Amino acid sequence: MPSGSSAAPGSVPPLFASFVDDASLLRPDGGLGVDTVVEGYLDTRDGDHGGLLGRLVCPVSRLSPLVTELARSAPAAPVELALVVDSGLGSVPKALSTVFSRATLLTPRTVETSAPVDLDPVWLERVAEFVPDDVTAVVEPRRPITGDADDVAAWLDAVRRVAENRCEPKLRCGGPRASDVPAVDEVQRFLAIAAETGRAVAVVGLSRLVRSADESGTMQHGILNLLVAAARAVDGGDVAAALTSTDADELVAATRELGGAENETVRRVLARCGAGRDEVAALGALAA
């Protein structure tokens, strides 16, 4: 428990509260069945580390079976939903209508979509038209995989436009291919935009607590690395060192040094991450 925390025994420290969204339905291999995902999500939400769990992430194409399964499961409270657009913006009104008509099962929190290459204010205004005021629009500008300096600069300009148009920018931080993992400098500059604009960002694709190599030898970013980096993006600390650290003890100590106000500041920069329930359990063991 971070020092100075007022959290009651068994509760979740504010830094980690509702931080990890369950992205099981987005797994590239087709993933788990909707019934398995719903059962696991509800069990985790009602378990010892349920306070860590954020939204259930669901693509529009899997919304109908999700609703069916939730109706069968009859959750004690509505599930907070992150709706991912995988079939065009035109599918959003019908999907939201379905969600709002099932208020006992679902509460929409975000509508998330990838941005076109030629991101402009007109497209962002169109997104705003589709997303109600009480739901957050999350936009993922396409990060270049070439590493070309001009392409990276153009991508970061798009990230800033998203933030300045009252949307939440999103960054994919990991995946099965090496190109899915942004460079440390790219993540650092992405977080800097969040700190400068005051617009929180989301990251997805995290599969480990601390930076480490996957089975192919590709270094993957860690959840704790991102949290510490977000804190340093605000206070002018060494963000790159936080992102590159592989020292779990050092990163844990850094999170525990954050006080209440600092926790809130970090989460205003890094709102949440998309991962799996294994990461919720691992983070829960740390926060206990």
pLDDT in tens, 51-86: 999 999 999 999 999 999 999 999 999 999 999 999
d(CA 8, CA 5): 9
Domain assignment present for residue 202? The answer is yes
Q: What is the pLDDT of residue 141?
A: 95
Q: What is the pLDDT of residue 9?
A: 37
Q: What is the pLDDT of residue 221?
A: 95
Report the domain count for the chain.
Answer: 1
d(CA 63, CA 221): 29
d(CA 26, CA 3): 36
CB neighbours of 211 closer than 8 A, spacing ≥ 6? Answer: 219, 220, 221, 222, 225, 243, 244, 245, 246
Domain assignment present for residue 3? The answer is no
d(CA 17, CA 59): 24
Domain assignment present for residue 5? The answer is no
Domain assignment present for residue 46? The answer is yes
Q: Kindly list the averaged pLDDT for each block of 10 residues, start to end, along the chain of length 288.
A: 36 86 80 90 90 94 97 96 93 96 97 90 89 94 90 95 93 87 96 93 90 91 94 94 96 88 90 81 72
Could you list the residue range(s) of the whole structural domain that residue 90 is in?
Answer: 14-287
Domain assignment present for residue 6? The answer is no
Helices 149-164 and 121-130, packing angle to 10 deg: 40
Name the residue among 134, 23, 126, 139 with its Cα closest to residue 85: 139
CATH number of the domain within which 154 lies: 3.20.20.70
Domain assignment present for residue 254? The answer is yes
Q: What is the pLDDT of residue 288?
A: 61
Domain assignment present for residue 1? The answer is no
Domain assignment present for residue 173? The answer is yes
Ramachandran assignment for 86, one of left (phi > 0), alpha (psi -120 to 50 degrees), beta (any other): alpha
Q: Are strands 136-140 and 106-114 parallel, antiparallel or unpaired?
A: parallel
Q: Is the pTM of this model over 0.85?
A: yes
